Structure 1
Amino acid sequence: MITEHALLDVLPGSEEEFEWAFGEARELISASPGFRGLELLRCLETPARYLLLVRWDSVEAHTVGFRQGPSYERWSSLLHRFYSPFPVVSHYESALSTSSSVV
């Protein structure tokens, strides 16, 4: 499993509209083969900045399966107009993992 990382700077003032559009776009990506889950986090210090983490079976599930698949055009039309600058996307694999439990 890999994790896609994208830092999304959206146009200030469009955060609410972006989140609404992302809610619709989430349906598209979640239906893609190899999709495992996602998390969209909003920055507290910079409210127009989001961190998108998407878990995939493989890099190819994202770069070929989703980006070259039938839903990507709709994904782009929903979301790409919000970005300034356009985000850089990177892929990561687990190197070390830990969790804590509260008793």
Structure 2
Amino acid sequence: MILEAVMLQVKNGMEKEYEEAFREASKILASMQGHISHELQRCMEVKGKYLLLVKWETLEDHTVGFRQSEEYQEWKKQLHHFYAPFPNVEHFEKIHL
């Protein structure tokens, strides 16, 4: 399992519109092969800051299966105009201790 973590900064005053758009766009994410789960969390200290966490079965499910799909083009169209600056996506794997 891979955890995708993205810190998102939404343009000032667009938070409510973003959350509504994300609710719709999340249906795209949930339909993708390898998607396990996702959650969006709102920062309590910084207005417009969100944390997106997505669990994928493999790294390639995200980087190839999702990012190179037609569905990703729709995801971009629905959400990318909200971000300033554009977010940096990172992937993590669990360490078994």
* TM-score above 0.5, yes or no: yes
- Correspondence for 2:53: 53
Q: Secondary structure at the match of 1:33?
A: coil
Give the superposition deviation at 1:96.
5.1
Q: Secondary structure at the match of 2:70?
A: coil
What's the CA shift string for 1:19-54, capped at 9, x where partnerless? 000011000010000000001000000120000000
Aligned ranges 1:1-103 → 2 under 5 Å:
1-95=1-95
| Unaligned residue ranges in structure 2 (runs of 5+) | none
What's the CA shift string for 1:34-91, capped at 9, x where partnerless? 0000010000001200000000001100010001012001100000000000000000
What do you get for the CA RMSD once the two structures are aligned?
1.0
Identity %: 46
Q: Which structure would you say has the larger Rg?
A: 1
Amino acid across the alignment from 2:6? A
| Unaligned residue ranges in structure 1 (runs of 5+) | 98-103
- The structure 1 segments of at least 4 consecutive aligned residues displaced by more than 2 Å after TM superposition are none
TM-score of the aligned structures, taking structure 1 as reference length? 0.91
